[in-house]
Structure 1
């Protein structure tokens, strides 16, 4: 038996707020149209801040809350699809800015909106072979720089943020038993890259993505509970990727999850992709709603198509 536990969380979002009313001045939309379809009221957009700035602030907060010094970190993974540079990686910039040891394993991971879950599983494996048993896992996105303002269906959805977790590996801890998967699809949801002449932009076909999500979320919950030999009642808190309030509400009704065991911040942040799940976790820890001994089920889904779930515990 071996695995990881969360020791401390941190998050950061730039101060610039884009309200639904602000968006009506840019694109043909309305507060009512956005709110009823997504649950989003505001989202944070970077102005002067960089992706590296957000990662640094979230990481520092997580390290402080964990009571772990930078020199104790054995590996750093940044889950992202919107870094400042393709190279150096965002994780290498975290190493520089936070002062991690030079021999810290640092790299980026692109799992889109499921990225934080992919990174948590990868970190569990890395720390098993590391002489230093603390790891730094960050989900961070600057999606505002990749918005297609001609697409009224997607430009209202996305925001910028970073969330970070300090985790500890031990032979005495249970594995998070992460469930991860993908189905290669370059048409439904993603961000264009070097294969396209135009600047990179987010694209999405809303209805197929919604149908994918409402199927993937309960399947992930069922599978990860089975892997861990747990039931819904054994989970202290459910944390869903904040893509759409209606997707979360459907899962809540299906599993009869009581109000005190789930949380939504999509109204204030919008969809922040890989930053979504760790930002929720950090806010919950900050509010004292999760803490030592809390067992939390994480569920993510996104472009790729990717999906994932894990049952994590706080130290």
Structure 2
């Protein structure tokens, strides 16, 4: 049964998060969940941006012991883009957002909210607030960051739609942007072959409830799996000696920096192939749909073998699976909107097509969402 905002109510945790009426014993005035207005939500524009520097497998073979065949056979990756020169994460994110607004024919000043999904912001305190400035917004929309690694964009879509349904916002930019090259160990052939930099964006817009295009979702996290994929903070001790003026010994005590990305590939593969098909099925159940109802399966572009394995378990034909990993590698939160934008602009994804999208990665986090394009 669908609630007033068009999301399907069920016994799942994900559905209960969205439906205040399903919280047992809670009235609208006392519930900690928002009271939703009768609004739908649709995707009306998309855009993407990638750095100019292309790094091929042959290029990597010059710095680590590897080759094109070894990389492409195991991952499906042949090229990736890397930020260089004066390029920046904010610049890529703003370019992707600008293209999404242009497709939607929406002025930047009409944007109410900017969500930047990224684990690699250019500022410790986040980079989202810099996007409206880069877009030239005369007004100041609310902007904040979402950090959920490769699942970030899925969480961004759910969060953005919630703001539209529950807070009265009309236009919400959801951007996935990453500069993973800054945290890549270029001497580790197990990880440096995987990652690239990119940005992708969509514009979510309020609509009549009967035109709602976000049908259902499923979200999870499990901190126990953090050890399999992370870039942790490391403490570096400073000198303990007091200076000639008698400053406090041992202060400041340390300096923090982040390690390069560390990954147990076999465990991450096992995790993704195990949880993603189930998550997609849960999201479809929440939407009241079946696998046969979807036109496209759009997964986080982590590894072609993962894409193939998930599609096989869901019994989705390969021709209905979106994949651009060969050209860009794993771009974390940017991978889904980047692949979506290319598929829309190439004409593969048409207005009215139903898409099952799923993200999975560090945290560990994973989730799926069922959407209709256009």
Q: TM-score, normalised by structure 2?
A: 0.80
Q: How much does 1:198 deviate?
A: 5.1
**How far apart, CA to CA, are the structure 1 residues paired with 2:187 and 2:307?**
27
CA contact (8 A) 2:216 2:283 kept: yes
Q: How much does 1:67 deviate?
A: 1.1
**How far apart, CA to CA, are the structure 1 residues paired with 2:226 and 2:354?**
35
**How far apart, CA to CA, are the structure 2 residues paired with 1:62 and 1:313?**
16
User: How big is the alpha-carbon RMSD for the aligned residues of Structure 1 and Structure 2?
Assistant: 1.6
Other-structure match for 1:72: 110
Other-structure match for 2:178: 141
Moved more, 225-234 or 267-276: 225-234
**How far apart, CA to CA, are the structure 2 residues paired with 1:255 and 1:141?**
29
What's the CA shift string for 1:116-143, capped at 9, x where partnerless?
0011111111122444411100000001
Other-structure match for 1:242: 301
Verify: 1:125 aligned to 2:162, yes or no. yes
CA contact (8 A) 1:8 1:65 kept: yes
Verify: 1:177 aligned to 2:177, yes or no. no
Other-structure match for 2:248: none
Q: How much does 1:32 deviate?
A: 1.6
Gaps of 5+ in 1: none
Q: Which has the bigger relative contact order, CA under 8 A and spacing at least 6?
A: 1
**How far apart, CA to CA, are the structure 2 residues paired with 1:64 and 1:215?**
39
Q: How much does 1:74 deviate?
A: 1.1
CA contact (8 A) 1:82 1:143 kept: yes
Aligned mate of 1:189, from 229, 232, 241 = 229
Moved more, 180-189 or 52-61: 180-189
Secondary structure of the residue that 1:165 maps to in structure 2?
Answer: strand
**How far apart, CA to CA, are the structure 1 residues paired with 2:149 and 2:127?**
15
**How far apart, CA to CA, are the structure 2 residues paired with 1:230 and 1:101?**
42
Secondary structure of the residue that 1:18 maps to in structure 2?
Answer: strand
Secondary structure of the residue that 2:190 maps to in structure 1?
Answer: coil
Q: How much does 1:201 deviate?
A: 1.2
Other-structure match for 2:88: 50
Verify: 1:262 aligned to 2:321, yes or no. yes
**Bigger Cα Rg:** 2
Secondary structure of the residue that 1:243 maps to in structure 2?
Answer: coil
Change (3 A) 1:90 1:51: same
Gaps of 5+ in 2: 6-39, 237-255
Other-structure match for 1:6: 43
Other-structure match for 2:136: 99
Change (3 A) 1:177 1:35: same
Moved more, 137-146 or 125-134: 125-134
What's the CA shift string for 1:75-118, capped at 9, x where partnerless?
1100000111123x321111101133544110010010000001
Secondary structure of the residue that 1:307 maps to in structure 2?
Answer: strand
Q: How many residues align?
A: 314
Moved more, 92-101 or 305-314: 92-101
**How far apart, CA to CA, are the structure 2 residues paired with 1:139 and 1:118?**
10
Moved more, 106-115 or 187-196: 187-196
Other-structure match for 2:121: 83
